[in-house]
Chain A
Amino acid sequence: MWLGVVLAVLTAVLAGGTLAGQASWAPKLALDLEGGTQMILAPKVEGGSDINEEQLNQAVAIIRQRVDGSGVAEAEISTQSGRNVVVSLPGTPTKETRDLIQASADMNFRPVLLNGDGAPVPTESLTPEDQLPKPTAEPANGSDINWITADIYRQFETMDCNNPAPESPEASDPTKPLVTCEPATETTPAIKYILGPVEVKGGNIVTSSFQLQQGAQGAVTNDWAVNIQFDDEGTAKFKSVTERLNQFYVAAGGETGNDPKAQFAIVLDDQVISAPRSLAVITDGRPQITGGFTEQTAKVLSDQLRFGALPISFEIQSDQQISATLGGEQLRMGLLAGIIGLLLVVVYSLFQYRALGLVTIASLVVAGALTYLAIALLGWTENYRLSLAGVAGLIVAIGQTADSFIVYFERIRDELREGRGLVSAVENGWKRAKRTVLASKAVNLLAALVLYFVAVGNVRGFAFTLGLTAIADLIVVFMFTHPTLQLLARTKFFGEGHRLSGLDPKRLGVVPLYRGAGRLRTPEAKPSVVRAKNTGAAAEAERRMTIAERRLAEKQEQLTGSSKSAAKENK
C-alpha cells in the first residue's frame, strides 16, 4: 500500500524535523489564533507615482530590516495584492516600533570620521573624562574631527554593534554627526562609526547596477563591482567630497594606508550599509565600488542603492491587535463545533451505508491525518500558518471529501442493481466514479488555485486548506478507499451482501434480468467498461446484436461477475 509509505515518510520527515528542533508536531498558528498585531501598510513613493513590484519588494526588505533591527522576534512581513505590505508581529509593539515601521526610507552619504570594532569598550578601559576629545574650532568640512565632541565620543565607545539597541524612529539630523553601526554580515564583523554630516543625498542617485569588474586591460575579472550613477547635483557634490577624501587616502599611504577619514559611508535608515574608501577623485558622477563582493552581495547593495534612493513612506491602512484569548476561544469553539459536526457525519454515514460507513470514516481519518501532516510540514518548511479561516476551510472540506466516497458507493450500488456481483460491481463502479471524482475535484482545485493566487489575506489561507484537502482526498480515495473496498468485496460479509454491509442485494432491489414473458427488465445505462477508446465500435457492435444475443451477453457478464467473487472466496 503506497499510502502507508506516504504517511510513514511524511511522519518520519516531520519526526526528524521535530527531533532536530526545527519542526513541531502542532501546526503553526496564524495571528488571529495566536494573538498579536497586524499592520497593513500602503507604501507611497514621493511624487505620488504608483509603486511597482520591485519597489514593493524593496519596501518589504526595508521594513524587515527595521523590524528585525527593533528586536521583535518572529515578525512576518509579506506583500498583499501587489500594493500593500502586511506586517504581523506577535504581541503588542511599542509606539517606537510602530513609528519605525511607518517611517520613510532615508538614504544618504556621510564621510567617516572614526571607526572601530563593533564591541563596546569595556568600562575599565574607557577613555577618562579629561582625555575625551574637545573640539578646538568650528568644523571646517564634513571630515573635520572637530565634529567629535566628548558626548559623541563617549557614545561611540559605549555603543554595542553586536547587540544593537532598538532603532530610533526619529531620523537623525543630517547636519549633525552620527554614531552608528554597520551590522555584522556572514563574512564581516560589525563595525561602529562616527560619521560626519550628510554630504550627498540618496535622492541624487539616478540608478545603480552591478557587474563583473573589468581589469586594467578591459578583460573581465572574477570580482564583482557595484556602479552608481549620480545626477548633476550629486555629481558635483560627490566630486568635491571625493577630492577631499582622496587626499586622506593618498596621505595615509594609498592601498596600504588605513585612515578611516578616506571612507565615505552609505547610510540607509541611519545604518551603514557600506563604507568604501575613496581611491580616486570621481568627476563624472559614476563611482564604482569594488572589493570583496560576491554576486549576491553586489546585487543586494546595488538594490539598496537603487531603491533606497526612493523615499518610500508608508500609510497605515489597518492596524489590528488580536487578542490571543479571543483567537483561542474561537478556535476551541470552532473545533468543538467541528467535532460535533463530524460525529453527526459519522452517525449519518453508518445509518446510510451501514458497514460501508466505516470505510467512509476510516477514509476521513486517513485524509485528516494526511492533511494534518501536510499542514505541520508546511508550517515547518514554508512557514504556513493555520488561521481561523483555514480551520473553517478544513471543517467545510469534511463534506466535500466524504462526497468522493458517496459518489463511489452510489456507483457500486448502481452496479449491484444492474445485477453484478460485488467484485465486478466494485471494479465497474470505480471506473465510472473515478471520472466523476476527478472532474469534480478538478473544479475544487481550480477554485483553490485561483483564489490562492488572486485573493489576499484570509482568503488565501482558506483557499490553501481547500486545495490541500482536495489533494488529500484524491490520494485517499485512490490509494485507500478503493483498495480497501477491493479487499472487502472478497470477504464473506460484504461479498454475500450481509444485511448490515450496506451492500445487501435484496435491499438494493436487485432483480433478475429476465422475469418471465414480456417482462424483460431493461438494464439502465449499460456498464461502459471500455468507454475511452472504442466507444464508437462498442456501441456499433452492441447495436448490431439481436435482443437474444444481448440478453445472453448480459447474463454471461453477470454470471462471470458472481462466479469470480465465489471463486475468490473459496481460496
Chain B
Amino acid sequence: MSSSFANFGNELYTGKRSYNFVGAKKLWFIIAAVAVALSILIPVAKGGFNLGIEFRGGSEFTVSNVQSTDSALGEKVVEDVVAGSVPRVANVAGTTMRIQTDKLTDDETLRIKEGLTSAYGVTNNEVTSTFIGPTWGADVTKQALIGLIVFVALAAVLMALYFRTWKMSLSAMAGMLVTMMITAGVYALSDFEVTPSAIIGFLTVLSYSLYDTVVVFDKIRENTADLDASTRRTFGEEVNLAVNQTLVRSINTMMVAILPVGAILFIGAGLLGAGTLRDLSLALFVGILIGTAATIFIAAPMYAWLRQNEPDLVKQAKRVEHRRSANNARTEESAEPAEA
C-alpha cells in the first residue's frame, strides 16, 4: 500500500501522472464561489451564529461531581427562581454540568446556586458561578480582528518580498479568505457555540492556511525560476507540475496535522462534551482540510491565472507551442520508432 503511495508520488513527480489543478481552474473557482455563498447564506438563514455566553453576556453555573446528568433538573431550578427564563444546560466533561442563564441579580444567583446544590446532590463548593459581561467576548473579538488584519497585511508584505511578486501574495490571500469563509460556514452549520476558543481556532486556521500556501508556492517559485530559458512547459503547466509534485507533501502534512485535531474532536468531544477543546478542534479540523484544498485548488491556479497574460509569459507560451508543433512534425516525419 505504502509502496503504491510512493509510486503515486513518483508519477506525480515526473509528470507521468498529473492532475490538472490549474487547467480546470474555472470549475474550482465556481465550486469555491458556491461554497462561499452557501457559507454566507447558512448563518443568515439560521439567524446568525450561535453565540457563546462570552458574547451574549449572562451568568454561568458549573456543577461538578453531579449524581445525575439530567439537564431537566438544572432547567427546573432556574425556571423556579426566574420565571420565563430559558437556561442552557449542558453536560461538560463527564460528571460536570454547565448551566447558562441571562444576567441574574446577586440574590437570584444565590438562590439558583442553592437550588442546583440540592437538585444535583452536590456540596456547596462544587457549584461555582460566573458572571460575564456582554462586552467581554466582543472585546476579545475586536482585538482578535485587529490582530487578524495586522497579521494578514504583514504576511502579504512578507510573501511579496520573499517571492518577489505581489501576485503570489494576492493568490495566497484569496485562498485564505475562501478557507476562512467556508470554515465559518461549517461552524455555523454545526451549531457549535462561538466562543473565544473558536476564535482562536479561526486564527490558527488563518496561519495554517498561509503556511501551507507558502510551502507549495515555494516549489512553484523553484519550478518557474528559469522559465525564460525553457520551452518544455508553459507557465501554467509548470505551476501545475509544482502542485502535483508537492501533492504527496500536502496530503501527508494534512494527515499529520489533522490526526491529533481529529482525535480531540471525535474522541475528546465524546468524553468532554462542550468546551474549549471541542470548539477549537472543530474550527481547526475543518480549517486544515479546507486550507490544504484551497492552496491546491484556489491559490495555485489563481496565481497561474493572474500571470498568464504577462507579455513575457505569453511569448514563452508561444515558444512552447512552437517547439511542440515542431516536435510533433518531426516525429511524424521521422521513420524511426519512438520506442527503442
Binding site for B on A (CB under 8 A): 32, 40, 80-81, 83-84, 92, 316-323, 325-326, 329-330, 333-334, 336-338, 340-342, 344-345, 348-349, 351-352, 354, 388-389, 391-393, 395-396, 398-400, 402-403, 406-407, 410, 413-414, 417, 432, 435-436, 439-440, 442-444, 446-448, 450-451, 454-459, 462-463, 466, 507-509, 515-519, 521-522, 524-526, 528, 531, 535, 539, 542-543
Contacts and interface: CB of A to CB of B under 8 A. Distances in A.
Interface string B200-215: 1001101110110011
Contacts of B146: 454
B70 interface: no
A175 to B, nearest CB: 30
Contacts of A439: 162, 214, 218
Contacts of A400: 208, 211, 257
Interface in B141-166: 142-144, 146-147, 150-151, 154-155, 158-159, 162
9 contacts: A317-B133, A323-B62, A323-B96, A325-B65, A333-B272, A399-B258, A399-B260, A403-B257, A443-B158
Contacts of A344: 259-260, 263
A458 B258 CA distance: 22
Contact of B64 (A326, A336, A543): A326
Given A349-B256, A406-B252, A450-B151, A509 B96 contact: no
A147 B199 CA distance: 60
A336 B340 CA distance: 59
Nearest to B267: A337
A392 B258 contact: no
Closest 9 CB pairs of A and B: A399-B257, A341-B260, A509-B10, A341-B263, A516-B340, A447-B207, A454-B147, A321-B128, A337-B268
Interface stretch (B26-34, B76-84, B241-249, B309-317): B241-249
B151 A446 contact: yes
Contacts of B130: 318-322
Contacts of B15: 524
B340 A342 contact: no
B59 to A, nearest CB: 9
Contacts of A454: 143-144, 146-147, 150
A318 B276 contact: no
A325 B97 CA distance: 12
Nearest to B280: A392
A355 B266 CA distance: 29
Contacts of A342: 260
- Between B62, B128, B150, B284, the greatest number of chain A beta carbons within 10 A of the residue's beta carbon is seen for B128
Contacts of A351: 1-2
A435 B133 CA distance: 47
A407 B132 contact: no
Name the prevailing secondary structure of the B interface residues.
helix
Nearest to A526: B226
B136 A318 contact: yes
A450 B144 CA distance: 10
B229 to A, nearest CB: 5
Contacts of A414: 13, 245
Contacts of B36: none
A348 B11 CA distance: 21
A413 B10 CA distance: 9
B14 interface: yes
B30 to A, nearest CB: 29
B215 A435 contact: no
B215 A508 contact: no
Contact of A444 (B207, B264, B338): B207
Nearest to A328: B93
B199 A459 contact: yes
Interface residues of B, number: 97
B336 interface: yes
A392 B267 contact: no
A436 B144 CA distance: 28
B96 A329 contact: yes
Interface of B: 1-3, 5-7, 9-11, 13-15, 60, 62, 64-65, 92-94, 96, 125-126, 128-133, 135-136, 139-140, 142-144, 146-147, 150-151, 154-155, 158-159, 162, 196-197, 199-200, 203-204, 206-208, 210-211, 214-215, 218-219, 222-223, 225-226, 229, 232, 241, 245-246, 248-249, 252-253, 255-264, 267-268, 271-272, 275-277, 280-281, 284, 288, 336, 338-340
A450 B253 contact: no
Given A317-B136, A450-B154, A459-B140, A389 B197 contact: yes
Contacts of A539: 226, 229
Given A417-B14, A456-B139, A459-B143, A333 B93 contact: yes
Nearest to B263: A341
A318 B130 CA distance: 8
Given A323-B96, A440-B215, A507-B7, A341 B129 contact: no
Contacts of B65: 325
Given A316-B133, A322-B128, A341-B263, A389 B229 contact: no
Given A341-B262, A466-B207, A528-B222, A396 B284 contact: yes
A388 B277 contact: yes
Given A403-B253, A417-B13, A446 B158 contact: yes
Contacts of B275: 330
Contacts of A345: 256, 259-260
Given A340-B267, A392-B197, A392-B281, 13 more contacts: A323-B62, A323-B96, A333-B272, A338-B263, A410-B248, A410-B249, A413-B9, A439-B162, A442-B158, A448-B207, A455-B143, A516-B340, A524-B245
Nearest to B256: A402
B210 to A, nearest CB: 5
B211 A444 contact: yes
Contacts of B261: 341, 395-396, 399
Interface centre among A338, A354, A448, A526, by most chain B C-beta atoms within 10 angstroms, is A338
Contact of B256 (A83, A348, A458, A524): A348
B232 A348 contact: no
A322 B311 CA distance: 63
Contacts of A410: 9, 246, 248-249, 252
Contacts of B9: 410, 413, 508
Nearest to A391: B277
Contact of B140 (A319, A326, A443, A457): A457
Which of A341, A345, A389 has the most chain B CB atoms inside 10 A of its CB? A341
A543 B246 contact: no
Give the interface centre of A351, A413, A525 by most chain B CB atoms within 10 Å. Answer: A525
A524 B13 contact: yes
A407 B219 CA distance: 10
B84 to A, nearest CB: 25
B147 A459 contact: yes
B6 A508 contact: yes
A440 B218 contact: yes
B36 to A, nearest CB: 23
**Residue of A337, A516, A524 with highest tally of chain B CB at under 10 A:** A337
A24 to B, nearest CB: 24
B140 A435 contact: no
Given A92-B128, A319-B130, A388-B277, A450 B197 contact: no
A443 B207 contact: yes
B336 to A, nearest CB: 7
Nearest to A440: B214
B229 A436 contact: no
Which of A316, A336, A521 has the most CB atoms of chain B within a 10 A radius of its CB? A336
B277 A333 contact: yes
A517 B336 contact: yes
Nearest to A441: B211
Residue among B6, B144, B162, B275 facing the most chain A CB atoms (10 A cut-off): B6
Contact of B264 (A32, A80, A334, A516): A334
B251 to A, nearest CB: 9
Contacts of B241: 524
B61 to A, nearest CB: 9
A458 B277 contact: no
